[in-house]
Amino acid sequence: MERSLKNVLVVSFGFLLLFTAYGGLQSLQSSLYREEGLGVTALSTLYGGVLLSSMFLPPLLIKKFGCKWTIVVSMCCYVAFSLGNFYASWYTLIPTSILLGLGAAPLWSAQCTYLTIMGNTEAKNVGKVGRDVVNQYFGIFFLIFQSSGVWGNLISSLVFGQTPTQGSGVLAVLLIALFLEPIKDAQQKSEGEKKSSFWSTLLSTFKLLRDKRLRLLVLLPMYSGFEQAFLAGDYTRSYTTCALGIHFVGYVMICFSATNSLCSVLYGRLSQYTGRKALYGLGAVTHLSCIVALLLWKPHPDQLAVFFVFSGLWGVADAVWQTQNNVLYGVLFEKNKEAAFANYRLWEALGFVIAFGYSTFLCVYIKLYILLGVLSLTMLAYGIVEYLEAKNPGRPVVAEQTKPTEEAETETVM
């Protein structure tokens, strides 16, 4: 347990260091670089890169380099973006934004694959249920990772316009490279085993969509993108900034990050007693209540506490989506984890792109109705998947893709 926990903590603190720097830079792009729309263009190309990389790169890079080195290489893309901000221009920000976008999907897919394999391996060693240990590991990860929002926003709020130190990104790369133990998969374990072709691996993200469950579950990450985009773009601008001023935005986001962080580790522990359906129900009801209340509420500066209550409750629900979605994808598509998590990042990025795309020309109340509709469809689709799982508890995953990773629940390299 100590060894597995050590690796979980290394990944978690690596992401904390990386995103403490990157989170502050991302949130200030449109404010720092307004001239000729450089900041907005940089963010647009970034998400375009995420969409493109999600389609093809994660399974390919994870198969070639393994989870550890995929994380290291992808983190270097984030560091390059930070360096591009030192000499911000069209010739530095746009190329590094594309590079970051290309690295984002492999980074998150490798992280999710690593934690899933590590949790399943540890569960097998100690005689526990795999999904319970995986849930705990994701809870620990998001406890530490989401706190990056606290530190990044605290720095930006106390010294407005100042971004967190970019040196933490370099420390993140060194931490992972030096202290994270690599995962040994079936291809490394059995030299004589027939390997999947380059094109089969490249297209595995799309091939997995032949599974009906995945086609239904794409709404979960899409909604995650919608709701995060609403909080970051609309709640902070149309509610907090309009009523309280821009200097309160950072503090409101700190409240979101803090509750998100604490609830993540709580859900990781609770899930083994309540099951995932109860937690999804909690997340859906909490967001539903917030959306309805925001439709009825008329913000006023005298209601200071209410602004923090909404962001805190949003964090309570978002922690459900961040922890349970990743665990659900890892459990249902255990033999195709890399392709499953690549799909997750693809559809979440698409949710972000759509939400940011209509953000500038739709009224806030229309966005809330859209959010309400997407949430309703998401929970309906999720309910159908749970019904299918209850009806066919022993159903296999997509057979055509299981051969290369049949023994992917692996041991850590000694």
pLDDT score recorded for residue 180: 96
- pLDDT exceeds 90 at position 163: no
pLDDT score recorded for residue 166: 59
Q: What is the pTM of this model?
A: 0.84
> Tens of pLDDT along 118-137?
999 999 888 898 899 999 99
pLDDT score recorded for residue 154: 75
> Tens of pLDDT along 56-110?
889 889 988 999 999 999 999 999 888 887 777 788 888 988 999 999 999 999 9
At residue 169 the predicted structure's pLDDT band, cuts being 50, 70 and 90, is: confident
At residue 399 the predicted structure's pLDDT band, cuts being 50, 70 and 90, is: very low
- pLDDT exceeds 80 at position 216: yes
d(CA 285, CA 292): 11
Phi, psi angles (nearest 5°) of residue 272: -70, -15
- pLDDT exceeds 80 at position 52: yes
Provide the sign of the torsion angle of the four alpha carbons 37, 38, 40, 45, taken in this order: positive
* Average pLDDT for the chain: 84
pLDDT score recorded for residue 234: 86
> Tens of pLDDT along 299-312?
999 999 999 999 99
Phi, psi angles (nearest 5°) of residue 175: -60, -50
